[in-house]
Chain A
């Protein structure tokens, strides 16, 4: 549970990091300035500390030398008087002299050559004064001093930093060692205070930098956020939103140019909307105005056509031509109107759950006679699966009829196979012919309006040149894909993929393009 909390908290922090420019900027600034302050503070602290202790050592060495001289003088006087005074008195006098010369220090003269040593204020002198130091002092020929930092144990168990300074005394020709032990707690405390001040100052500085960064970033990010919010509103369709312009700085320039953009966008959209309305209106008017006379022509042509048997041959043929060409004109008009409805965005989808296998069977049945007249066999391959999809069946049937018509036109009388397969999200229908196929250039243009693969080719399905363009629009209306594969001499395959649920987004198609042929299709010999 704790682990989970921790992970969730981490995720939230990551999210905040990712989503907020302000947080990111402040965090980076704090991190970098904190690092800089830490480096500067540490180096300052080290330098202050070493200076402090060096100065102290120099001072203590001098003090020790003074104390040594004072003690030496006491011993020398005692030696000159040659009066065998009580050695205790001499030693006390020396002790007083040392204490005067080096106030606050403890000292010890360790016992040597059978003589008793003296010591003041210190119990474990032996423990404090290391053998290395003693050896250095003992072996030195010069009357110089040696020092060593030590830790002074206190009554409360803590230790104070201390310094042991050793020197030699000459008492009646004998060498004695004199060690003075100083407590350096003052220097340590001074250093501690300096460090504390540095830490507090550093933290305050970092916090200040964080606050300043926060405010500065806010000043910069605020208008950007406002601009982002405003453009979101604009994108959502509210064309009247604008950014308030303040001052004359770069942010104000941003606001002004944004507002300019929004205004021109608004004008364009209003203009286009008006245009689209005019277009729709025009389509609707053309529809009515053209259809009424066309109906009269159609009725007249059909009446004549029905009586063509009783006409002289030329007139009968005229009636026939009139009949077929009126039909062609009608199809063309219908396709044109459909296309312009798409262009005007005035298309509505009438979707309901539909069994696409049944739909494909119906579409196949409708072209079967035509296919057989061309010598093409139609085959439907539909392994089980989900075949229900929310589609506008009229449009899908229109797509299928178009694809089948094209397959028959270009199929060279070879078999035509329709595959249907599906997965949980999508249904795909592929129409495959084994005819002439297309060049890559032709493939790229196959969905263009009024484009024909081969103008000299005879068309039996009476296509208008708009069929595939409309099919593409129909499939796009469903949120589907209409794709083509083709190879010269091997035929073509059109694959329609539709989402099973209206409004879903396709990610893949259940069918390959072209689908795997499986068992080889029996070759129908063609003349």
Chain B
């Protein structure tokens, strides 16, 4: 992954004025934006420009943002931030469930947008150099890899970071707010659905039985903690 300077960002939005304005803001911060204004062309644009991050409007002509998000997720773990006009509808949850890492609610201000983008582009904090254990999984922190025995499990950077946060402090119970701060970079109250949805997605990938988790344990009324290591 490149550093943020000159990081390529694909902006998928049918409102050309907003897309252009976002482009101005991003360029001002040293990013390199590319644009796409049609949902059905988004995937091609994604393959073309190989962006480091995607800003994706949920309401798009051609193919809706949720569908685009799921398609991109099928072939890449690249960070996706949704742009949405509605924060309290099922659309946001659907978007998160189809793989979006985060979302920004319109109208947002430039600082907010840039902060979200920066958080998703920063390299994962290296808490330790050696491999970490969580349940029967091994995390190679430097190599950004998770293995169960010899099998490599494919995680998005966000999912890896979430798992890493839990594995790094196996004794600690993390509240959703703590995870929002550590993984998503929110320093104030944010949407706990972000954590809930991504824990579900992560469980689907790493648990033997996602309904009866042994790696990411729920602590009722508090949050989550790492499962015990055998």
Q: Which of B8-42 contact A (CB under 8 A)?
A: 15, 17-18, 21-22, 24-25, 28
A114 within 8 A of B: no
Contact between B107 and A291, CB atoms less than 8 A apart? yes
B86 within 8 A of A: yes
Given contacts A288-B86, A291-B85, A292-B15, A302 and B109 within 8 Å (CB-CB) = yes
Q: Within 8 Å CB of A393, what residues of B?
A: 189
Stretch from A49-57, A61-69, A244-252, A293-301 that touches the partner: A293-301
CA distance A296 to B17 in the complex (A): 7
- Digit string of B204-228 for contact with A (CB within 8 Å is 1, else 0)? 0000000000000000010000000
Contact between A298 and B221, CB atoms less than 8 A apart? no
Q: Within 8 Å CB of B88, what residues of A?
A: 341, 348
Contact between A299 and B22, CB atoms less than 8 A apart? yes
CB distance from A333 to the nearest CB of B (A): 8
Q: Within 8 Å CB of B59, what residues of A?
A: 288
B106 within 8 A of A: yes
Contact between A296 and B85, CB atoms less than 8 A apart? no
Partner of A295, one of B18, B24, B221: B18
Q: Within 8 Å CB of A300, what residues of B?
A: 21
Contact between B189 and A291, CB atoms less than 8 A apart? no
CA distance A288 to B86 in the complex (A): 7
Contact between B18 and A296, CB atoms less than 8 A apart? yes
Q: Within 8 Å CB of A341, what residues of B?
A: 88
What number of A residues sit within 8 Å (CB to CB) of B?
24
Q: Which of A297-323 contact B (CB under 8 A)?
A: 297-300, 302-303, 306
B110 within 8 A of A: yes
Given contacts A296-B18, A394-B189, A397-B189, A302 and B110 within 8 Å (CB-CB) = yes
Partner of B21, one of A284, A296, A306: A296
Q: Which of A288, A295, A348 has the most CB of B within 10 A?
A: A295
Contact between A296 and B110, CB atoms less than 8 A apart? no
Partner of A299, one of B25, B85, B86: B25
CA distance A296 to B106 in the complex (A): 9
Contact between B86 and A294, CB atoms less than 8 A apart? no
Q: Within 8 Å CB of B221, what residues of A?
A: 353
Q: Which of A331-350 contact B (CB under 8 A)?
A: 341, 348
CB distance from A446 to the nearest CB of B (A): 27
Name the interface size band of chain B.
20 to 34
A233 within 8 A of B: no
Q: Within 8 Å CB of A296, what residues of B?
A: 15, 17-18, 21
CA distance A284 to B89 in the complex (A): 10
A287 within 8 A of B: yes
Contact between B17 and A303, CB atoms less than 8 A apart? no
Q: Which of B34-93 contact A (CB under 8 A)?
A: 59, 85-86, 88-89
Partner of B25, one of A303, A362, A394: A303
Contact between A303 and B86, CB atoms less than 8 A apart? no
Q: Within 8 Å CB of B17, what residues of A?
A: 293, 296
A483 within 8 A of B: no
Partner of B107, one of A294, A303, A348, A397: A294
A330 within 8 A of B: yes
Given contacts A292-B15, A295-B18, A303-B24, A287 and B110 within 8 Å (CB-CB) = no
Q: Within 8 Å CB of A353, what residues of B?
A: 221
CA distance A449 to B189 in the complex (A): 28
Contact between A303 and B189, CB atoms less than 8 A apart? no
Residue of B nearest to A294 (CB): B107
CA distance A295 to B15 in the complex (A): 11
Q: Which of B25, B106, B108 has the most CB of A within 10 A?
A: B106
Residue of B nearest to A393 (CB): B189
Residue of A nearest to B90 (CB): A348
Given contacts A292-B18, A293-B17, A394-B189, A303 and B85 within 8 Å (CB-CB) = no
Contact between B22 and A291, CB atoms less than 8 A apart? no
Q: Within 8 Å CB of A295, what residues of B?
A: 18, 21, 106-108
Contact between B86 and A298, CB atoms less than 8 A apart? no
CB distance from B117 to the nearest CB of A (A): 13
Q: Which of B83-126 contact A (CB under 8 A)?
A: 85-86, 88-89, 106-111, 113
Contact between A303 and B106, CB atoms less than 8 A apart? no
Q: Within 8 Å CB of B18, what residues of A?
A: 292-293, 295-296, 299
Q: Within 8 Å CB of B22, what residues of A?
A: 299
CA distance A299 to B113 in the complex (A): 10
Q: Within 8 Å CB of B89, what residues of A?
A: 284
Partner of A292, one of B28, B85, B110, B189: B85
Q: Within 8 Å CB of B113, what residues of A?
A: 299
CA distance A348 to B86 in the complex (A): 14
Contact between A292 and B106, CB atoms less than 8 A apart? yes
Partner of B86, one of A284, A330, A362: A284
Instruction: Return 19 A-B CB contacts under 8 Å, by A number.
Output: A287-B85, A288-B59, A291-B85, A291-B106, A291-B107, A292-B85, A293-B17, A293-B18, A295-B108, A296-B17, A296-B21, A298-B107, A298-B109, A299-B24, A302-B109, A302-B111, A303-B24, A303-B28, A341-B88
Q: Which residues of B contact A (CB under 8 A)?
A: 15, 17-18, 21-22, 24-25, 28, 59, 85-86, 88-89, 106-111, 113, 189, 221
Known: A296-B18, A299-B108, A299-B110. 10 other contacts (CB 8 A): A291-B85, A291-B107, A292-B15, A294-B106, A296-B21, A297-B107, A298-B108, A298-B109, A299-B113, A362-B189
